[in-house]
A and B are shown apart, each in its own frame.
Chain A
Amino acid sequence: NAGVMQNPRHLVRRRGQEARLRCSPMKGHSHVYWYRQLPEEGLKFMVYLQKENIIDESGMPKERFSAEFPKEGPSILRIQQVVRGDSAAYFCASSLTSAGQETQYFGPGTRLLVL
């Protein structure tokens, strides 16, 4: 009974390196959302994907950030040339449908620390 899986749980990168965060949704879920949580803040929406499609990326910075959800395999959030301000917890959530009443189930998050 696997829930939403995220790896790695913790990731340390130096400025300028790339960070790749992975998310495997719950079985049967084809809708994936990525959120970012800065210290002492609530979660902020970044991007919403369905299989092979980006539906809404309005919350994602225009540069250095990209996301994908291929037909096979996990969803990937990629941050190129990381900066200290990228240090945050990144959460992935999945849902069965995109309907507003559909509960999103969250993964444990990836804590990214940029040195």
Chain B
Amino acid sequence: AQKITQTQPGMFVQEKEAVTLDCTYDTSDQSYGLFWYKQPSSGEMIFLIYQGSYDEQNATEGRYSLNFQKARKSANLVISASQLGDSAMYFCAMALTGANSKLTFGKGITLSVRP
């Protein structure tokens, strides 16, 4: 079974600064994908970034980058130049590569951006 751990308490960051949100995972499978989703107070789930277990380079999408350390089983999200609109819950998730790619989610981290 897969497990995602997000243990940081609520995070605070000053506007325009960078912030790292931690995520560790556990799986015995070798082929999997890691995802980050954002959930603002309005409640929807917004896909941010994806990292495959065989990708050699860290994924980047605009201000989002994923610091993937396979040996440590960590997939931390880095948000650069934080904006007020980044205040939200952030969920790390994983799926195995195969016929059924159901997502396993962590409990999430609350990020608050201060002006």
Chain B nearest CB: distance from A30 CB in Å?
13
- Given A42-B91, A43-B91, A100-B31, decide whether A33 and B102 contact each other with a Cβ distance below 8 A: yes
A100 and B97 in contact, given A43-B91, A106-B45 (Cβ under 8 angstroms)? yes
A91 vs B44: C-alpha distance when bound (angstroms): 9
Q: Which residues of B contact A33 (CB under 8 A)?
A: 102-103
Which chain B residues numbered 1 to 58 have a C-beta less than 8 Å away from chain A?
A: 4, 6, 31-33, 35, 37, 43-47, 50, 52
B98: A residues at CB distance < 8 A: 98-100
Cα–Cα, bound, A59→B103 (Å):
11
A69 at the interface (CB under 8 A from B): no
Residues of A61-100 whose CB lies within 8 A of B? 89, 91, 93, 95, 98-100
A25 within 8 A of B: no
Q: Is the CB of B91 within 8 A of A100?
A: no
Q: B102 contacts which of A41, A45, A103 (Cβ < 8 Å)?
A: A45
Nearest B residue to A41 by beta-carbon distance? B107
Closest chain B CB from A43 CB (angstroms): 5
Q: Per-position contact with B for A98-110: 1 when CB-CB < 8 Å, else 0?
A: 1111111111110
Q: Determine the interface band of chain B, counting residues with CB < 8 A from chain A.
A: 20 to 34
CB distance from B66 to the nearest CB of A (A): 14
- On chain A, the residues within 8 Å of B106 by CB distance are 42
A14 in the interface, Cβ–Cβ < 8 Å?
no
Chain B 100-115 per-residue mask, 1 if CB under 8 angstroms from chain A, else 0? 1111111110000000
Contact of A89 among B43, B91, B101 (CB under 8 A): B43
B37, A106: Cβ atoms closer than 8 Å? yes
Question: Contact between B101 and A99 (Cβ–Cβ < 8 Å)?
Answer: yes
Q: Does B96 contact A (CB under 8 A)?
A: yes
B88 near A: Cβ within 8 Å?
Answer: no
Interface of B toward A, CB cutoff 8 Å: 4, 6, 31-33, 35, 37, 43-47, 50, 52, 91, 93, 95-108
Selected A-B contacts with CB under 8 Å, 16 pairs: A41-B107, A42-B93, A45-B102, A91-B45, A93-B45, A95-B101, A98-B99, A98-B101, A99-B97, A100-B101, A103-B47, A104-B103, A106-B37, A106-B46, A106-B47, A109-B45
